[in-house]
Amino acid sequence: MKDNGNVGQALDQTPSTAELVKQLSEQVTVLIRDELKLAQMEMTRKGKQAGVGVGLLGGSGLVALYGVGCLIACAIIAISGVAAAWLAALIVGAALLATAAVAALIGKGRLQKATPPVPEHAVESMKTDVEEIRERARR
């Protein structure tokens, strides 16, 4: 019958419901803090990687711009063999401006299609969800 003494002793050591709820609350708080720290560290790491990537893309864009400038100069020099140098530069400049105008018009059209920058489908879905929750809460 020595086991009965151990059972009573075990029951005395069993935490109460209030203590269990308190422990659960503390553990959930610690878990949430740890998850937030982990997310912050991950976002910091990804942000650094993105920063390096943006820097490299910017540098490559600058080098590409210089390359395009050289090609434009080459086109002007090639045309100047047939026409005067000023006329060759005028022809190439006019062609570049026309190309830029067409690209600007196409870009403007695309931007107008993309505005307003609100995820309309997601917002509508969220409104539907909220309405559904309200309906169920009324029942």
Degrees, nearest 5: CA angle 105-106-108: 65
Domain count along the chain: 2
pLDDT, position 7: 53
First to last CA, the chain: 55
Residues 78 and 90 in one domain: no
Q: What is the pLDDT of residues 31-71, one digit of tens each?
A: 888 888 888 898 988 889 989 999 999 999 999 999 999 99
Mean pLDDT (the chain) is 86
Q: For residue 132, what are the domain limits?
A: 85-139
82 CB-near residues (< 8 Å, 6+ apart): 88
Residues 15 and 65 in one domain: yes
- pTM given for the model: 0.50
CA 121 from centre of chain: 18
What's the CA gap between 88 and 105, in Å, rounded? Answer: 26
pLDDT, position 1: 46
pLDDT, position 25: 86
pLDDT, position 10: 54
Residues 59 and 15 in one domain: yes
